[in-house]
Structures are given as C-alpha cells and as structure tokens.
C-alpha cells in the first residue's frame, strides 16, 4: 500500500544569527509522504530551497532514532510536537493532515541562545552536568557493577531517571524555563545507586547552584515538563531533587 501524500504550509522561524532579530517565514511543503519523519520533511523543504538558491533551514539533528537528544523544535506550540513520548525526529507526518499549517520555532529560554533558525546553544546543559552530574568512584566494568545487590524497585527508578536524553524539551515547555526536571533526572539516577551516593550531597548542591547561575527559572509545579518530555520523565524526580538538596543544605 503506497503512502498518502499531503501538502502543508510551514511557518518557520528564520534568524540568520543570534544577535539579529528573526521572524516567521512561510514555505510550502508539497507532495510530502506521510511515511516521512518530521526531519525528513524538512530535508525535502531544504532541498527545494537550495535548488531555488535560498538559504536552507538550519535545525539540530544527529541519530534520528530518538536517542541522542539533538533534535528539538517547538511545533505548533508544543516541544517536539503534539505526540506524547516522541522526539521530533520520530514524529511522523501521518500525524498531520493535508492542508495543515505548521508553525516551527526554536527552544525559547534565556540560557538557550539562538545560533541560527531552529538551532540553539544548549551548552548550558553540559555545564550543569559538569557541575556535579558525574561520579568519581571507580565502578569497574559492567560485571563489577552488576555484582552489587540493588533492590529491583531502586534499579528501575534509577533507570527511569537515566532515560533522560538531555534534549531540553522540559525547559522549552516550562513557563519559567526551569531545568529542574533535567537536573532532577540526573541527580535521581545517580543518588539512587550506590556508586553515586558518596557525592550525592555535593552533586545536588552544585547542580542547583549552577542552574540558578546560568539563568534557569525555578519550578512552579506547572508539569508541562513532564507532559512534553519525550522519554516520559516524571516530576517525581523534581521532588527527589528537592529532598536531596534540602538534605545537602541542612545536614
């Protein structure tokens, strides 16, 4: 069975450089296969722009398998689009209808400076990791780590938090541009496991302070972060972050 073909109108944020004011530009995306991913659709649009001597739309991508966290844009007001638990590269055009108008914008947050078009500088997330999202314990190889008894519930909770791919959707979706879900996920998956406990207090304290220093907002329990996270990270991780931070400050 052949794929359905649809025609779309795109309103894409174009900004040639971070210091230059950008605006939405309108493009036609014609004869798009519904089997395409969203990024493949943008590839087709870019091929036509290049043929016409125009500057292609800049956007972040890498693995295109929903793993690396590189892709990310606000599609019709939703980070990664309207499908839950889906990265932009895994959002398929079958979820859109013929004649739809799609508005595509970059992440919006003070620490995420626009580089060009839909590409933003997310190095602030790297700085948060450098502030404390690591362990200095020599954990050995995988067999050594697996030899440490860990309750199943604890292992699953740590694994769920570790599913974070660092795409920044939680920050883009939050009205306060808070990085609490991202930091909470990193703090949780390390503080739950024995290898991460020696530095648990230091990690929570340093990551929270760095988050404030970089200009991220605070959590006001809006829960947009949980709703838009492509990996389904729960806001329970924010509660765990708060507990770890309080323990670090008052113990």
- Report for 4-8, 129-133, 145-149: range of highest mean pLDDT: 4-8
Percent residues over pLDDT 90 in the chain = 87
- pLDDT-wise least confident of 3-7, 84-88, 128-132, 143-147: 143-147
Beta-bridge mates of residue 25:
12
Distance CA(35)–CA(93), nearest Å, equals 6
- Res 145: pLDDT: 65
Arithmetic mean of pLDDT, 82-90 = 97
| pLDDT 10s digits, 94-106 | 999 999 999 999 9
- Identify the residue whose tokens are 């091929």: 47
Confidence of residue 138 (pLDDT cuts 50, 70, 90): confident
pLDDT at 241: 96
pTM of the full structure: 0.92
Q: Which domains does the chain have, with CATH numbers?
A: 5-116 (3.10.20.30), 122-250 (1.10.1060.10)
pLDDT in tens, 199-209: 999 999 999 99
Q: Name the residue among 100, 131, 106, 104 with its Cα closest to residue 214.
A: 131
- Structural contact between residues 241 and 200, judged by C-beta atoms closer than 8 angstroms: no
pLDDT of residue 1 exceeding 60? no
Q: What confidence category does residue 137 fall into, taking pLDDT thresholds of 50, 70 and 90?
A: confident
Q: What is the mean pLDDT of the chain?
A: 94
The two beta strands, 5-14 and 101-105, are: parallel
Which residue matches tokens 């995420």?
112
- Segment 159-187 shows an average pLDDT of 97
> Contact at 8 Å (CB) between 74 and 105?
yes
């Amino acid at each position: 069975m052949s794929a359905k073909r649809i025609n779309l109108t795109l309103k894409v944020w174009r900004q040639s450089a971070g210091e230059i004011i950008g605006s939405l530009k309108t493009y036609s995306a014609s004869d798009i296969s519904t089997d395409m991913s969203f990024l493949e659709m943008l590839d087709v649009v870019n091929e036509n722009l290049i043929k016409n001597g125009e500057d292609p739309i800049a956007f972040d991508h890498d693995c295109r398998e929903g793993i690396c966290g590189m892709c990310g844009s606000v599609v019709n007001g939703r980070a990664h689009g309207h499908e839950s638990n889906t990265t932009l590269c895994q959002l398929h055009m079958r979820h859109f209808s013929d004649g739809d108008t799609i508005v595509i914008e970059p992440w919006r947050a003070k620490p995420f400076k626009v580089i060009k078009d839909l590409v933003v500088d997310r190095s602030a997330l790297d700085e948060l990791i450098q502030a404390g999202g690591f362990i200095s314990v020599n954990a050995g190889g995988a067999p050594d780590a697996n030899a440490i008894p860990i309750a199943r519930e604890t292992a699953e909770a740590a694994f769920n938090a570790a599913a974070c791919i660092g795409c920044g959707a939680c920050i883009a979706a939050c009205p306060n541009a808070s990085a609490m879900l991202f930091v909470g996920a990193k703090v949780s998956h390390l503080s739950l496991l024995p290898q991460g406990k020696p530095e648990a207090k230091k990690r929570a304290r340093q990551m929270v302070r760095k988050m404030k220093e970089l200009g991220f907002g605070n959590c006001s329990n809006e829960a947009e972060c949980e709703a838009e996270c492509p990996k389904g990270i729960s806001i329970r991780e924010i509660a765990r972050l708060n507990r770890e931070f309080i323990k670090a400050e008052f113990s």
